[in-house]
Chain A
Amino acid sequence: MKINKLYKGVWGVVLVLLSSISVVMPSVAKPVPSSAYMDIELILPNVVTSIYARPYVAVWIADTEGKSVRTIQLWVGKDEWLKDLRSWWRKVGRNDRAVVDAVTSATRPAGKYRFSWDGLDEQGERVEQGQYTFYVEVVREHGGRNYLRQKLQLEEQSFTHRLEPTQETGQITINYNVE
Chain B
Amino acid sequence: MLNKKINVMVLTCSMLAGLTFASVANAHPRWVLPSHFTISKEGGDWLSFDVTASHGVFVFDKPAGSETAQIIMPDGRKQRPDFVLRGKRRSVFDFHFSEQGTHKVQINNQAGYFTSFKAGHRDTPKRLRANKIDRVALLPKEPRDVVTTETYTRVESYITVGKPSEKAFELEGKYLELLPITHPSDIVADEPVRLQLYFNGEAQAGVKVDITREGTLYRNHQEQIDVVSDEQGFVTFTPNVAGRYLLKAEHSGDLINNPLADRMSASVHFTFEAVLP
Residues of chain A at the chain B interface (Cβ within 8 Å): 78-83, 86-87, 89-90, 93-95, 97, 145, 147
Q: Mark interface residues in B2-40 (1 if CB within 8 Å of A CB, else 0).
A: 000000000000000000000000000000000010111
Q: Tell me which of B40, B41, B45, B164 has the highest count of chain A C-beta atoms within 10 A of its own C-beta.
A: B40
B40's partner among A83, A87, A145, A147 (CB-CB below 8 A) is A83
Residues of chain B at the chain A interface (Cβ within 8 Å): 36, 38-42, 45, 160, 162-164, 185-186, 188, 275-277
Q: Tell me which of B36, B164, B276, B277 has the highest count of chain A C-beta atoms within 10 A of its own C-beta.
A: B276
Knowing A79-B42, A80-B41, A83-B40, the reply to whether A95 touches B275 (Cβ < 8 A) is: no
> Residue of B at shortest CB range from A81?
B40
Q: How far is the CA of A82 from the CA of B160 in the complex (A)?
A: 14
> Residue of B at shortest CB range from A97?
B162
Residues on B with C-beta less than 8 A from A89 are 38, 40
Main SS of the interface on chain A?
A: helix
Q: How far is the CA of A94 from the CA of B183 in the complex (A)?
A: 14
> Residue of A at shortest CB range from B41?
A80
Residues on A with C-beta less than 8 A from B185 are 90, 94
Q: How far is the CA of A90 from the CA of B37 in the complex (A)?
A: 12
B41's partner among A78, A90, A145 (CB-CB below 8 A) is A78
B186 shortest CB reach to chain A, Å: 7
B39's partner among A78, A83, A95, A145 (CB-CB below 8 A) is A83
B186's partner among A82, A90, A147 (CB-CB below 8 A) is A90
CB atoms of B40 and A93 under 8 A apart:
yes
Residues on B with C-beta less than 8 A from A86 are 275-276
B159 shortest CB reach to chain A, Å: 12
Knowing A80-B45, A82-B40, A83-B38, the reply to whether A94 touches B276 (Cβ < 8 A) is: no
Q: How far is the CA of A98 from the CA of B26 in the complex (A)?
A: 47
CB atoms of A145 and B163 under 8 A apart:
no
Knowing A79-B41, A94-B40, the reply to whether A87 touches B277 (Cβ < 8 A) is: yes
Q: How far is the CA of A80 from the CA of B36 in the complex (A)?
A: 12
A79's partner among B40, B164, B186, B277 (CB-CB below 8 A) is B40
CB atoms of B45 and A94 under 8 A apart:
no
Residues on A with C-beta less than 8 A from B41 are 78-80
Q: How far is the CA of A7 from the CA of B23 in the complex (A)?
A: 77
Residues on A with C-beta less than 8 A from B39 are 83
Residues on A with C-beta less than 8 A from B45 are 80
CB atoms of B42 and A94 under 8 A apart:
no
Q: How far is the CA of A83 from the CA of B276 in the complex (A)?
A: 12
> Residue of A at shortest CB range from B185?
A90
